[in-house]
């Protein structure tokens, strides 16, 4: 997984969320609740796909189509390129 045009690059193990893998890397990824409630981990997927195995994100379909993603809920289903603030 690449973040911010290659500023960070790390792997996400099976079952890990994007946020769990990022914090283990370690990447200073914004976060607070870690359970989909605060929106502080919001990022944008610019390449690749994710799924939400435990809980659906509070995102509209257009927001998801634009690539917005809750890193604390999402797991990758392909190689990813992500932008964070
Ligand atoms: S850390 Fe709060 S929504 Fe992800």
Report the CATH number that the domain containing residue 34 is assigned in CATH.
Answer: 3.10.20.30
Residue 69 has pLDDT above 90, yes or no: yes
Q: How many domains does the chain have?
A: 1
- Mean pLDDT rounded to a whole number for the chain: 96
The pLDDT of residue 85 is 79
Nearest protein CA to atom 3 of ligand 1, as residue: 36
pLDDT digits (tens, 9 = 90+) for 16-42: 999 999 999 999 999 999 999 999 999
For a mutational test of ligand 1's pocket, the pick from 20, 21, 23, 31, i.e. the residue with the most ligand atoms closer than 8 A to its C-beta, is 31
CA angle 57, 71, 9 (to 5 degrees): 155
Residue 49 has pLDDT above 90, yes or no: yes
Domain that holds residue 24: 2-83
Are 21 and 81 in contact, with CB atoms under 8 Å apart?
no
Centre of ligand 1 from the C-alpha of residue 6, in Å: 23
């Amino acid at each position: 997984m690449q973040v911010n045009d290659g500023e960070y690059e790390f792997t996400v193990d099976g079952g890990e969320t994007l946020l769990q893998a990022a914090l283990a890397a370690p990447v200073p990824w914004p976060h607070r609740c870690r359970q989909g409630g605060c929106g502080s981990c919001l990022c944008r997927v610019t390449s690749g796909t994710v799924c939400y195995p435990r809980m659906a994100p509070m995102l509209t379909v257009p927001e998801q189509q634009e690539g917005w993603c809750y890193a604390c809920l999402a797991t990758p289903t392909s190689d990813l390129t992500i932008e964070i603030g």
